[in-house]
Amino acid sequence: MNVDDGQETAVLRRTPPRFITDRPHLLEDAEAALRLGKHLLFRGPTGSGKTRLAETLAERLGLEMESVNCSVDLDLEALLGYRTLGLSEGRTVVEYVEGPVVRAMRRGRMLYVDELNVARPEVLPILHGALDHRRQLTNPLTAEVVTAHPNFCVIAAINEGYAGTSPLNEALLNRFVVFDVSYVQGDALAQLIREATALSDSSQIERFVRFSADLVRASQVGELPAEVASIRALLDACDLSSHMPSLRAIRYAVANKASDPREQDLVMELASGYFSNL
Ligand SMILES: Nc1ncnc2c1ncn2[C@@H]1O[C@H](COP(=O)(O)OP(=O)(O)O)[C@@H](O)[C@H]1O
Ligand SMILES: [Mg+2]
């Protein structure tokens, strides 16, 4: 088999699932807020569909998306760009390469800022002017004032209460309209599993929906870490279980996300209420 053959590798690629939620109005209200020129903050646990929701909104508005993933190392250059040496007519010149914030502002794109509350708080005030009625920032790298295109909008995501996150400062929080995004459950989750995974058997899907409710409950009371309740992990388990016993699929895709063996055991115990090793 030729691994470079496009047809062979194409089967590995999947288009991302349609965003499906059990929250009435979430999608329409978020879209309305963007159309009214607001910036959005999505608050919710890992794997709850925040990025997928932002991508869906960008599609609906016909906007391209620029992304920034915050970390403690995030600095001004990662947001605004950097200077580098280039050649022009045989001479060395200093060139400026735009970063995602400047690109989104100038070209009227959506800026998605993931894990905003992981960034060091002193880096973020540079965004204040871009996010309020001024829609401008002064780029310290070029000393230029950058004015946002009318289509420029920002969606930021935070995952509250995680190690390494800090509460968002009020000045920043003030500039956003806040939407809670929680794990999709119930009939909407069954629909997502049907659309996004290889599972099609209704009773099997129903068992995964109930198992997910147990995981979410256990993570809410702190018995399990949030990664274990992630919908991403559940969808992976559903996919795998079309090719192996569900308990094995759950071990790989869900239980092993926990580092503590007691947490792994709890996941498998919950799963054994719905699935057998056949
Ligand atoms: N409500 C949902 N609708 C569609 N897909 C979802 C939903 N929740 C989670 N997913 C899927 O789970 C995975 C993780 O979602 P993502 O948007 O990256 O989560 P987050 O940004 O909250 O960590 C993606 O593959 C995504 O398609
Ligand atoms: Mg994400």
In a domain, 19, yes or no: no
Task: Kindly report, residue by residue over 151-205, the tens digit of the pLDDT.
Answer: 999 999 999 766 667 778 889 999 999 999 999 999 999 999 999 999 999 999 9
Q: Residue 49: CB within 6 Å of ligand 1?
A: yes
Q: Residue of the nearest CA to atom 24 in ligand 1?
A: 232
In a domain, 90, yes or no: no
**Same domain flag for 125 and 241:** no
pTM above 0.85, yes or no: yes
**Same domain flag for 36 and 166:** yes
Query: How crowded is residue 207: how many other Cβ atoms within 10 Å of its Cβ?
Result: 17
Report the CATH number that the domain containing residue 63 is assigned in CATH.
3.40.50.300
Percent of the chain with pLDDT over 90: 85
pLDDT at 278 over 90: no
Query: Which of 149, 180, 211 is the C-terminal boundary of a domain?
Result: 180
Instruction: Determine the residue type at 238.
Output: C
pLDDT for res 162:
65
pLDDT for res 33:
98
H-type helices in the chain, by residue range? 6-10, 26-35, 50-61, 76-80, 100-107, 128-131, 170-173, 186-196, 202-220, 226-229, 231-240, 246-253, 261-272
Q: Which of the 8 DSSP states describes residue 134?
A: T
Query: Which of 180, 197, 218 is the C-terminal boundary of a domain?
Result: 180
Contact predicate 110/101, CB 8 Å? no
CA distance 112 to 109: 10
Q: Residue of the nearest CA to atom 23 in ligand 1?
A: 47
* Angle at the Cα of 253 from the Cα atoms of 250 and 254, rounded to 5 degrees: 65
Task: Identify which of 48, 50, 114, 219 to mutate to test ligand 1's pocket (most ligand atoms within 8 A of the CB).
Answer: 48
In a domain, 231, yes or no: yes
**Same domain flag for 162 and 231:** no
Q: Residue of the nearest CA to atom 25 in ligand 1?
A: 232
In a domain, 196, yes or no: yes
| Helix, strand, coil share of the chain (percent; to 5) | 45, 15, 40
**Same domain flag for 115 and 190:** no
In b/e form, how buried is each residue of 147-167, taking b as 16+ CB within 10 angstroms? ebeebbbbbbbbbeeeeebee
Class of residue 188 by CB neighbours under 10 A (exposed 0-12, middle 13-18, buried 19+): middle
Please tell me the distance between residue 53's alpha carbon and the centre of ligand 2 in angstroms: 9
- Identify the domain containing residue 136 by its residue range: 26-74+103-180
Task: Identify which of 20, 26, 41, 52 to mutate to test ligand 1's pocket (most ligand atoms within 8 A of the CB).
Answer: 52
Query: Which of 180, 201, 222 is the C-terminal boundary of a domain?
Result: 180
Q: Residue of the nearest CA to atom 26 in ligand 1?
A: 49
Q: Residue 17: CB within 6 Å of ligand 1?
A: yes
Please tell me the distance between residue 55's alpha carbon and the centre of ligand 1 in angstroms: 10
Q: What DSSP letter does each residue of 78-89 carry, written as one string?
A: HHHEEEEEEEET
Paired strand residues for 191: none
Structure tokens at 221: 């009371």
Q: Residue 248: CB within 6 Å of ligand 1?
A: no
Task: Identify which of 23, 231, 257 to mutate to test ligand 1's pocket (most ligand atoms within 8 A of the CB).
Answer: 231
pLDDT band at 12 (very low <50, low <70, confident <90, very high): low
pLDDT band at 1 (very low <50, low <70, confident <90, very high): very low
Query: How many domains are there within the chain?
Result: 2
Q: What DSSP letter does each residue of 187-220 carry, written as one string?
A: HHHHHHHHHHSS---HHHHHHHHHHHHHHHHHHH
Q: Residue of the nearest CA to atom 16 in ligand 1?
A: 49
Q: Residue 21: CB within 6 Å of ligand 1?
A: yes
Q: Residue 52: CB within 6 Å of ligand 1?
A: yes
Task: Kindly report, residue by residue over 194-251, the tens digit of the pLDDT.
Answer: 999 999 999 999 999 999 999 999 999 999 999 999 999 999 999 999 999 999 999 9
Whose structure tokens read 């310290």?
Answer: 140
Contacts of 45 (CB under 8 A, 6+ apart): 159, 182, 183, 219, 226, 229, 230
In a domain, 203, yes or no: yes
**Same domain flag for 68 and 206:** no
Please tell me the distance between residue 50's alpha carbon and the centre of ligand 1 in angstroms: 6
